[in-house]
Structure 1
Amino acid sequence: MQRPSPHAFSDDTGPFDLIGDIHGCAGEAETLLKKLGYRLGEEGPRGKRHYSVSHPDGRKPVFLGDLVDRGPRSPDVLRLVMGMTKAGQAYTVMGNHDDKFRRWLDGHHVHLTHGIEETITQFEIEPDAFKAEVRNFLYYLPTHLILDNGELLVAHAGLAKKFHGISSGQERAFALFGDVAKQRDKYNLPVRRNWAAEYRGRRTVVHGHVAEPQVRELNNVICIDTGCCFGGGLTAMRWPERELVTVPAEQAYFHSPRWG
């Protein structure tokens, strides 16, 4: 099976709503989309929900990856995001958790850590046809997108300037995990280098992956993962307005030693 280029360039100027790591928190995603002005039709109970979505001003969500794991409703998140993306109503980039779950769906051995066990449990009752649909969707997700005539780049963990528009193993690793050192921190987690401190590009880079209580901006690099699955919030950034919109988590679903 041939994958497309891991990046795409688009003159689509939006407007967009860039949405951080959902991690299975479908209720918060529904609330955030409504707060952003989307008309959200919902059918079926939680866990088996189907959606119809539109925006009166033609705005498009851009989902920044890590759709699954940790939260209670990963299948619903995937139904929501897949439906919009396949209909051309949204863009989505690959997150490291999405790629790990895709490998599990492929039958590969993965370590049942960092929340994937919740997603696997939720998928036990899903039909094989839906699992195959999810697998194919995740397989073809790009690792980064360049939008708005080159003014905006989105990648799950961000992307150093030298990798913009490039297809390589290094680009893929950076887009999914960031700039990770070989050392481990006191929690035995990989040390993340602050690559944004060296960024000097004019193109705005918006990413998730690094959960913090507040949105962080440095050198035109903006991280909007505010830790919804840890009890923080789910955040969107309107583009080109750069307005931030956040809804609080309904509860903390997962514990991380790095979080508060």
Structure 2
Amino acid sequence: MIRTPPDPRAFIHDRGPFDLIGDVHGCFGELVSLLEQLGYDRRDVHDWHHPEGRRPVFLGDLVDRGPDSPGVLRTVHATVTGGRGYCVVGNHDDKFRRWLAGRDVKITHGIEETIEQMSAEPDAFHREMAGFIESLPHHLILDGGALIVAHAGVPSDMHGEDSRRVRAFAMYGEVTGDRDEHGLPIRRDWARNYAGEPTVVHGHVAEPQVRERNNVLCIDTGCVFGGHLTALRWPERDYVQVPAHDTWFHSPRWSQDDR
């Protein structure tokens, strides 16, 4: 079997400690509350530092559906470009990047809120965010290989590789190609077969509670749907959560799961 080339952006020589933060989806107020709860100090509205040197790691889907995607983008951009944290690209971020580049995308699933919010932002900010999102890796290998981070996860045979197949999996997970009764993609539970030694932490699949299966942790707990914004402290493996300030977006799948 011919393996694809490694992705140099995936290998980060940083052993932490980290605070892994699930899908923010434009919930800037909740992000501020979570960072405060995690012990970060704010030097200005978007400039956060931890007194013990902890680094936030954002799991992607920074934008769409929530009330302030530009605020989230500014905070994550300042953190990553300032060398104080990391971020992987989510499928919503990538779609937004394509919209910023003038590509034809479907104005559905919450991007309409981001487009409206961005209409008040200068062109320079549009260009800066397009370049920033383009620069984000699709997955990260941290803590000497003990920790793998991707928006939708990555199975063992993809760790560290760079290809269209790996990028698609890292952003979308394992999909069947079919859609459910709500018109949403049907996903397979790829973690059911995971037997790798590294812990994989991802978001993408919103559920009311953190899901742990076969050393795969999903920490998207549906903040934008009225759930919680969740962080995983690494290496402690402790969870820190803040409740959503409101139900910012209604999803039929979330309502069904939450009953």
Shorter chain as denominator, the TM-score bin is over 0.9
Partners of 1:142 and 1:53 in 2: CA distance: 22
Query: Which secondary structure does the structure 2 equivalent of 1:97 belong to?
Result: helix
The offset of 1:40, in angstroms, is 1.6
- Structure 1 counterpart SS, 2:19: strand
**Does the CA contact (< 8 Å) of 1:7 and 1:146 recur in 2?**
no
TM-score by length of 2: 0.95
C-alpha offsets along residues 208-252 of structure 1, whole Å, 9 cap, x if unaligned? 000000000000000000000000010000000000000000000
Residue 14 in structure 1 maps to residue 16 in structure 2:
yes
How far did residue 7 of structure 1 move? 4.2
Structure 1 segment 191-202 matched on structure 2, within 5 A: 191-202=186-197
Instruction: Give the Å deviation of 1:6.
Output: 7.0
Task: Report the AA paired with residue 25 of structure 2.
Answer: H
What corresponds to 2:117 in structure 1? 122
Of 208, 227, 245 in structure 1, the residue corresponding to residue 222 of structure 2 is 227
Equivalent pairs, count:
250
Distance (whole Å) between structure 2 residues aligned to residue 22 and residue 204 of structure 1: 21
Task: Compute the TM-score of the two structures, normalised by the length of structure 1.
Answer: 0.94
Alignment partner, residue 3 of structure 2: none
Structural RMSD (CA)? 1.1
Give the Cα separation in 2 of the matches to 1:7 and 1:174: 17
- Alignment CA distance shift 1:130-1:175 (3 Å): same
1:46 corresponds in structure 2 to none
AA at the equivalent of 1:95: G
Report the Cα offset of residue 10 of structure 1.
2.2
Which residue is 1:82 aligned to?
Answer: 77
1:94-137: CA deviation from partner (whole Å, max 9, x where unpaired): 00000000000000011000000000000001001111110000
Alignment check: 8 A CA contact 2:7 2:160 kept:
no
Shift of 1:183: 2.0
1:186 aligned counterpart, secondary structure: coil
1:55 aligns with 2:50: yes
Letter paired with 1:71: G
The one-letter amino acid of 1:150's match is G
SS at match of 1:94: coil
* 2:163 matches 1:171: no
Distance in 2, Cα, partners of 1:194 & 1:205: 14
Q: 5+ unaligned residues in a row in structure 2: which ranges? A: 1-5
Q: Give the match for residue 213 of structure 2.
A: 218
For the residue of structure 2 that corresponds to 1:9, the secondary structure is: coil
Query: Identity, % of aligned pairs?
Result: 62
Which structure is higher in helix share? 2
Matching residue within 128, 140, 146 for 2:141: 146
* Unpaired stretches in structure 1, ≥5 consecutive residues: 43-49
Match of 2:37 in 1: 35
